[in-house]
Amino acid sequence: MKSDPAAALAQPDRKGRKASKEVRRQQLIDATIDSLARRGYSETTMANVADGAGLSRGIVNFHFESKDKLLVATLQHMAEEYAAHWRSALARAGDDAAEQLFALVSADFDRAICNRRKLAAWCAFWGEAKSRPTYQALCGQRDEAYQNRVAKLCTALIEEGGYRRDPGMTALGLDALLEGLWLRLMLANGELKRETARDAAIAFLRTTFPDHFSNIDGSPVRRAINNEKKGAAR
């Protein structure tokens, strides 16, 4: 079968239009995050999002039709970004439960997702979630998957170390600490550093699971070494 020259020429154009559409959507989502961080939820409008993205207001309407759809798309993007970030950190950590929990906690304070701009945007959405079921669902999906993983890892470490702790309460305490540190970072106006917040979370791990996180920097103790020490003690 002979190829169609016209179709061949049209293909790159279709790809270009598709790429352009995706780029425009991302520009508008980024501008929405900026506006939420600077102005808050109620003062964010389609007009200032368009101005922030350097695009016409018609383009905003073309891609999202309404402020509500734009904000839902922005929250969806942030939730997917957060999930991809911690899942990637988890995958790099290997199979050891302590390494995985350390990776999850550390990843929560990476600059890519933990910065004043994104923290302020999250807080704007959290403030509206109570009265907006769609926001509740998106935030809930984000929280539930992460919290289930933390609970599973806490259970594994408690069983390994023989700690006299309740796994559910331990996981709940860690989740609350991480959320509280994010809030403090947002409200501290730069006085609290990400590194300090991370160190506080690692200190919780070191206190809660001393046999697993007794290194000076709070990083996980290699289980083979730890088990060897226990054997020698017997």
pLDDT at 191: 86
Which phi-psi region, left, alpha or beta, contains residue 40 (left: φ > 0; alpha: ψ -120 to 50)?
A: left
pLDDT tens sequence across 69-94: 999 999 999 999 999 999 999 999 99
- Helix H segments across 110-166? 116-129, 133-161
Residues 165, 167, 170, 173, CA torsion sign? negative
Which domains occur in the chain, in start order?
Answer: 1-65 (1.10.10.60), 72-233 (1.10.357.10)
- pTM higher than 0.75: yes
Write down the pLDDT at residue 232.
Answer: 46
